[in-house]
Amino acid sequence: MYLDNFSDAGVRALWEKAAALGLIIELHIGPNYAAQTRDLITAFPETTVLIDHLGEPAYGTIPEYAEVLALADFPNVVMKLSGLDHIAGDAPLYLSVRRFVRQVADAFGPARLAWGVGSPAWVRTHLSDWPEADVTHVLGGNLVRLLRWPEAL
């Protein structure tokens, strides 16, 4: 069941518990929810927030998606590079949305992006002018760090 809004007391209680446990909050939201999440992200700056599927750009308006991009202002927000098949049909590289993906990638930067699904070839294609070390962070290094996995994995 989807929530009507993020000001619900139960949502705040969930964020409080996640913060106390040091958990990551993963948001599978559309752009229409981005502005609502701002208050919670502000209230819990120590909690990492992972936005799934590029914030589902197909489910909102351009002004609403601007609110998704504005979440890049928060250092604890990470964008998951996934769900390209939700906005483009030219798999496997999704070249039709390359400029869009770059705008998102540039907003969040290499330390706050995490590849989520599909071939790493599309990530390498979309970020082809980034240094290899930055692309490596996006392709797994950032998740290793966020999930506190041992480097040996």
Over residues 77-87, the mean pLDDT reads 97
pLDDT of residue 36: 92
Distance CA 10, CA 139 (A): 34
Place 151 in a pLDDT band, splitting at 50, 70 and 90.
low
pTM for the full predicted model: 0.94
Over the stretch 98-138, which tens digit does the pLDDT of each residue have? 999 999 999 999 999 999 988 999 999 999 999 999 999 99
Give me the chain's average pLDDT, please.
Answer: 94
CA distances from 62 to 32, 68, 142 (A): 10, 10, 28
What proportion of the chain, given as a percentage, has pLDDT over 90? 88
Task: Return the residue matching tokens 């998704």.
Answer: 68
pLDDT digits (tens, 9 = 90+) for 15-38: 999 999 999 999 999 999 999 999
Burial track 6-27 (b if 16+ CB lie within 10 A, e otherwise): beeeebeeebeebbeeeeebeb
